[in-house]
Amino acid sequence: MNNLNKHIEHTLLKQDAKHEDFIRLFDEAKKYNFLGVCINPMYVKFAKEYLKDSGIKIVTVVGFPLGANKTEVKTFETSKAVEDGADEIDMVINVTKLKDKDYKFVINDIKSVKQACKDKPLKVILETDLLNKEEIKKACQLCIEAKADFVKTSTGFVKNGVGAKEEDVKLMYETVSPYGLKVKASGGIRDKETAIKMLAAGAERLGTSSGVKIVS
């Protein structure tokens, strides 16, 4: 697969990342012509300025990493991110509400963020490490109903979590693709072999901090 770079969102979400780390991330994104960078909301404005005219998408996260913020907080965070220049939003689903089968809440949570995205694509992080297969499928169905644009596997922040798994990506793809939604695999994608497996399983996007290693 020759165009792996055009599936990669070069990611830096570490709590202890320094200014120079972001500069490196952005420079690498330009050098390898990655599809996008994925960063915390605080750095969106800076990324927009640094990467202007590069065609690289600025992706940011909302309700990250637990998804347990109130809906109003998620929507405010989304509005600010869009205002700052974010091209896409990755929100974390409320896992507790999903497990409690409070589906009305989950749908409203996603719909509210989608509305705040305006015309920007919304990806919903399911946190598959915390879900069984039925819950993954149900979460995908709720995302379809709420008119999200993507379902995404993981934050990469679950302790002892695996992150993206081939069978989960395949299940997500089979559930959402007939309705026009796409899949982003993220978490634990650290080499070319894994990246290709995820794309073969149905992922359209790859969220990884190992983008350079993968394309090299």
Q: Give the domains, in start order, of the chain with CATH numbers.
A: 4-215 (3.20.20.70)
Is 147 known to be catalytic?
no
DSSP 7-63: GEEEEE--TT--HHHHHHHHHHHHHTT-SEEEE-GGGHHHHHHHTTTS--EEEEEES
> What pLDDT shows up at residue 6?
98
pLDDT in tens, 95-125: 999 999 999 999 999 999 999 999 999 999 9
Q: What is the pLDDT of residue 1?
A: 65
**Given 87, 90, 109, 168, the catalytic residue:** 90
Q: Which of 114, 123, 138, 184 is catalytic?
A: 184
- Which pLDDT score, from 0 to 100, does residue 2 have? 73
Q: Which helix (H) or strand (E) holds 84?
A: helix 71-84
* d(C-alpha 210, C-alpha 216), whole Å: 10
Report the b/e string of 92-101 with b at 16+ CB within 10 A.
Answer: bbbbebbeee
Question: Is residue 159 flagged as an active site residue?
Answer: no
Confidence at residue 81, expressed as pLDDT on a 0 to 100 scale: 98
CA terminus-to-terminus distance, the chain: 12
Between CA 57 and CA 35 the distance in angstroms is 6
Query: Which of the residues in the chain have pLDDT under 70?
Result: 1
Give residue-wise pLDDT tens across range 121-142.
Answer: 999 999 999 999 999 999 999 9
For the question of residue 152 being annotated catalytic, the response is yes
Is 2 exposed, middle or buried (CB count within 10 Å of its CB: 0-12, 13-18, 19+)?
A: exposed
The single residue of 57, 152, 165, 182 carrying the catalytic annotation is 152
Question: What are the φ/ψ torsions at residue 76 (nearest 5 degrees)?
Answer: -65, -45
